[in-house]
């Protein structure tokens, strides 16, 4: 039958199935191909918390959401236009998120009595009318894959596992995506297993041509390339961008990169990525625990390396005492905290902005450190460079805050020209004359004297230091002097960072304040609100300790301030304390990022209250 092609500006799709159905792989391949087409995109992988949840249960559902567009976008989309549901549990978990009238492609072979029971369905949703209002497309994915691969020589189990590629091929046809990039990936991935390579290739092509030949689809869709800035782009996740940022910082500083790490979700991918780059002199050390990991990083910094350590919230708690040691010894290390839901093990595969208070204050004694946060996957590259620069220039620990949404999500990243990235200055102390280990420059920074440098022997450790000499001191006045001095050194960083920038209407009454991964949803919500003619502004914090110098001036300029956070209002409390302003805290603690619609509703409510006479 003749089929039409419809142009769309943007689409949000979600793949969902058992953790063994390959939904993350399917979503990643669709994302890479979409990036190649030239669309702007944003992704939201959603992993089950259980490592081996029972197959067919809602606990084991794995999802991957992708928002792609011919226009500039900032989020992975609020509600999917299309859901690929590989089994009843996937349908049940994701149905409430769909747009009214959304398309649902279901694998009808999985809707048998056993799987319906495991998903706790009393009746078959494909038959009981509960999906009325949706465009439900019944596709026997398992059966069609078996027919396509019946002469492949694979076992029944191996054939069944290929149904995700049949579904991927079908989606490539539906959204006018080329299949060549995935075919090349299959060839490279299974080069030592030609039988598997042939089977996956055939499953992919069979799904593509099924879309072409079946009467289930009367329309296919096309999303034209976005008008991005001229340059070379690649699709990148937050953890990948972070790893590449620290490699670049190593090159630009001339220092060897050392990572001391203990694996923890969702930070482990940084260790995996950096371990691939020994050609840049990267040293990765998988320690026996979190304490050993950060302690090794401190030792590497003492010996003259660009030293980093990676973790998430529970691991950060274990690193606390050693971070205090880095404060006392005034050595440059970067602590990367990829935040997740807590407390304790909490929600290990879900996102949350849960550790800001821990980053700011979570050490014994008065032990301030610099705190800096990334706002998107691609932004992790820039923030890695900046965290490295600050740590080296000011000889102190820097906390780099990311989160699970940023770390696992991806977006197009414009690869910078190497010559456009500024050098990171390093000033080791070599001169013996007038050397004192805690004698300071104009920024209150002590010298970085490497062990073994002739004439520069000095004591280092966790006991309080005497001013200038660095000798152990129990003198009360000296202790107070050193505590205030270390705090002032952190404060001095405010002279070396850009001022806070207002986005939107400077003459508005409402300012929306954000930090970290809320940037995309806030930005998109404000853009939508301002298109209606209403006035609002936003600021987004990269630097959290110290804050930019103009922070107080900006905050006191607006009548109402809204601060959305994925916690119970941690930044709101800090800003209220620091600047004596009233902050309206808007919080969400569900393991998921804000939806644009949630923020729009709150913003429009506040603006409506103003128009109704509230001051």
413 φ, ψ (degrees, to nearest 5): -125, 125
The more confidently predicted of residues 352 and 615 is 352
pLDDT in tens, 55-89: 999 999 999 999 999 999 999 999 999 999 999 99
pLDDT in tens, 9-62: 999 999 999 988 999 999 999 999 999 999 999 999 999 988 778 899 999 999
Q: Which of 148, 142, 141, 171 is nearest to 31 (CA)?
A: 171
Domain boundaries, the chain: 4-222, 234-420, 431-496, 503-611
Cβ atoms of 273 and 243 closer than 8 Å: yes
475 φ, ψ (degrees, to nearest 5): -70, 125
CA-CA-CA-CA torsion sign (34, 40, 46, 51): positive
pTM of the model: 0.95
Q: Is the pLDDT of residue 153 over 70?
A: yes
pLDDT in tens, 579-594: 999 999 999 999 999 9
Cβ atoms of 158 and 203 closer than 8 Å: no
Q: Which two tokens stand for residue 183?
A: 């075919």
Q: Do domains 234-420 and 503-611 have the same CATH topology?
A: yes
Span of 161-170, 278-287, 298-307, 452-461 with lowest mean pLDDT: 452-461
Q: Which two tokens stand for residue 552?
A: 């107080």
Q: Is the pLDDT of residue 612 over 80?
A: no
Crossing angle of helices 194-213 and 180-189, rounded to 10°: 160
pLDDT in tens, 394-432: 999 999 999 999 999 999 999 999 999 999 999 999 999
Q: Is the pLDDT of residue 375 over 70?
A: yes
Q: What is the mean pLDDT of the chain?
A: 96
Domain 234-420 fold: Rossmann fold (3.40.50)
Q: Which of 235, 206, 264 is nearest to 404 (CA)?
A: 264
Residue 279 DSSP code: G
Check residue 53 and give its pLDDT: 85
Helices in 119-217 by DSSP H: which ranges?
Answer: 141-148, 156-160, 163-174, 180-189, 194-213
In whole angstroms, what is the distance from residue 246 CA to residue 237 CA? Answer: 14
Domain 4-222 fold: Pyruvate-ferredoxin Oxidoreductase; domain 3 (3.40.920)
Q: What is the CA radius of gyration of the chain?
A: 27
In whole angstroms, what is the distance from residue 175 CA to residue 69 CA? Answer: 12
Q: Is the pLDDT of residue 615 over 80?
A: no
In whole angstroms, what is the distance from residue 394 CA to residue 493 CA? Answer: 8
Residue 228 DSSP code: P
Mean pLDDT, range 489-505, rounded to an integer: 97
Task: Evaluate whether the domain defined by 503-611 bears CATH number 3.40.50.920.
Answer: yes
Percent of the chain with pLDDT over 70: 99
Q: What confidence tier does 2 reach under pLDDT thresholds 50, 70, 90?
A: confident
Mean pLDDT, range 266-281, rounded to an integer: 97
| Vertex 266: Cα angle to 119 and 415 (nearest 5) | 120
């Amino acid at each position: 039958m003749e089929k039409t092609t419809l142009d769309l500006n943007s689409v949000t799709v979600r793949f969902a199935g058992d953790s063994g159905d390959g939904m993350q792989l399917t979503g990643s391949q669709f994302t890479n191909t979409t990036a190649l087409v030239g669309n702007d995109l944003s992704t939201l992988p959603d992993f089950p918390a259980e490592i081996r949840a029972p197959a067919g249960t809602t606990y084991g559902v794995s999802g991957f959401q992708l928002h792609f567009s011919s226009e500039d976008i900032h989020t992975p989309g609020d509600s999917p236009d299309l859901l690929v549901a590989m089994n009843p549990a996937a349908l049940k978990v994701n149905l409430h998120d769909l747009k009214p009238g959304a398309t649902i492609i279901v694998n009808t072979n999985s809707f048998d009595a056993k799987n319906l029971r495991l998903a706790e369905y009393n009746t078959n949703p494909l038959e009981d009318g509960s999906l009325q209002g949706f465009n439900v497309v019944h596709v026997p994915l398992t059966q069609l894959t078996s027919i396509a691969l019946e002469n492949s020589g694979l076992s029944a189990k191996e054939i069944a596992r290929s149904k995700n590629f049949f579904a991927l091929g079908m989606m490539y046809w539906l959204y006018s995506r080329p299949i060549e990039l995935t075919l090349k990936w299959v060839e490279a991935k299974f080069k030592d297993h030609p039988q598997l390579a042939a089977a996956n290739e055939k499953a992919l092509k069979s799904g593509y041509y099924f879309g072409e030949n079946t009467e289930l689809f009367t329309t296919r869709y096309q999303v034209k390339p976005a008008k991005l800035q001229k340059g070379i782009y690649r699709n990148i996740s937050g953890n990948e961008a972070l790893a590449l940022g620290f490699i670049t910082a190593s090159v630009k500083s001339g220092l060897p990169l050392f990572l001391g790490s203990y694996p923890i979700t969702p930070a482990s991918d940084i260790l995996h990525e950096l371990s691939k780059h020994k050609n840049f002199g990267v040293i990765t050390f998988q320690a026996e625990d979190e304490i050993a990991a950060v302690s090794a990083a401190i030792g590497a910094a003492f010996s003259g390396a660009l030293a980093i350590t990676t973790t998430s919230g529970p691991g950060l708690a274990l690193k606390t005492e050693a971070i205090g040691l880095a404060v006392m010894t005034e050595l440059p290390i970067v602590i990367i905290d990829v935040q997740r839901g807590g407390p304790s093990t909490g929600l290990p595969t879900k996102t949350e902005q849960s550790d800001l208070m821990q980053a700011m204050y979570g050490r014994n004694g008065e032990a301030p450190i610099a705190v800096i946060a990334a706002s998107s996957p691609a932004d992790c590259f820039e923030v890695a460079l900046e965290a490295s620069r600050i740590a080296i220039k000011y000889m102190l620990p820097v906390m780099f805050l990311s989160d699970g949404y940023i770390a696992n999500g991806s977006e197009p990243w414009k690869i910078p020209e190497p010559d456009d990235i500024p050098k990171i200055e390093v000033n080791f102390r070599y001169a013996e004359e007038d050397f004192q280990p805690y004698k300071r420059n104009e920024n209150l920074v002590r010298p970085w004297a490497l062990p073994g440098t002739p004439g520069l022997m000095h004591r280092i450790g966790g006991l309080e230091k005497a001013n200038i000499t660095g000798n152990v001191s129990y003198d009360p006045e000296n202790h107070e002097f050193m505590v205030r001095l270390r705090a002032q050194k952190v404060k001095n960083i405010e002279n070396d960072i850009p001022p806070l920038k207002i986005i939107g209407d400077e003459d508005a009454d409402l300012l929306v304040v954000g930090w970290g991964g809320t940037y995309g949803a806030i930005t998109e919500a404000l853009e939508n609100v301002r298109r209606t003619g209403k006035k609002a502004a936003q600021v987004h914090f990269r630097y959290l300790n110290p804050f930019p110098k103009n922070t107080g001036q900006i905050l006191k300029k607006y009548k109402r301030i809204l601060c959305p956070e994925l916690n119970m209002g941690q930044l709101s409390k800090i800003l209220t304390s620091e600047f004596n302003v009233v902050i309206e805290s808007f919080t969400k603690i569900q393991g998921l990022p804000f939806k644009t619609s949630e923020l729009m509703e709150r913003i429009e409510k506040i603006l409506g209250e103003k128009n109704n006479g509230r001051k």
